[in-house]
């Protein structure tokens, strides 16, 4: 049996207001160098706002300076898979989703509301 790897949870935003369509909010750098050793990533989110639709991507960085959209993939949810105020099994704007970034020591998460109705986003990242 392999070595046990703990799951690390990091709160990214608590009731972050996304006020205008097209305005992207970017997280502080997330240091993955000692976490995510197995390459598993999930986001638990809660979207509030009638009719809200939130897209999310990530940027990766190896040099500590330049955060880029990887050509191997950078989208978490966009378009029809966006986070909505009625997402999730209970249709209450809450869900947990998986994504698979390319290996890098640093990452930033990006979010924006697409329907000009405004949204509130609470987001936690789990890594293993």
Query: What is the DSSP code (8-state) at residue 2?
Result: P
- What is the Cα–Cα distance from 108 to 30, expressed in whole angstroms? 6
Strand intervals (E) in the chain = 8-18, 25-26, 30-31, 41-48, 53-61, 75-77, 83-84, 94-99, 106-113, 119-127
- What's the pLDDT score for residue 36? 67
- The domain limits of the chain are 16-83+105-127
The domain 16-83+105-127 having CATH identifier 2.60.120: the answer here is yes
Residue-level pLDDT at 47: 96
Instruction: Give me 115's structure tokens.
Output: 């329907």
Separation CA 53–CA 38 (nearest Å): 31
**69-87 pLDDT tens trace:** 999 889 999 887 889 999 9
pLDDT at 1 over 60: no
Which segment of 2-11, 77-86, 97-106 scores lowest on mean pLDDT?
A: 2-11
């Amino acid at each position: 049996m392999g070595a046990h790897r703990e799951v690390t949870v990091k709160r990214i935003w608590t009731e972050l207001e996304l006020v205008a369509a097209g305005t992207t909010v970017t997280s502080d750098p997330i240091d993955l160098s000692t976490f995510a050793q197995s390459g598993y990533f999930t986001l638990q989110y809660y979207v509030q706002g009638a009719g809200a639709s939130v897209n999310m991507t990530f940027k990766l960085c190896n040099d500590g300076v330049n955060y880029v959209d990887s050509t191997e993939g950078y989208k978490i949810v966009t378009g029809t898979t966006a986070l909505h105020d009625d997402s999730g099994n209970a249709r209450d704007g809450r869900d947990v989703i998986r994504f698979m970034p390319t290996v890098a020591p640093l990452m930033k998460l990006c979010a924006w509301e697409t329907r000009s109705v405004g949204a509130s986003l609470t987001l936690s990242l789990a890594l293993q």
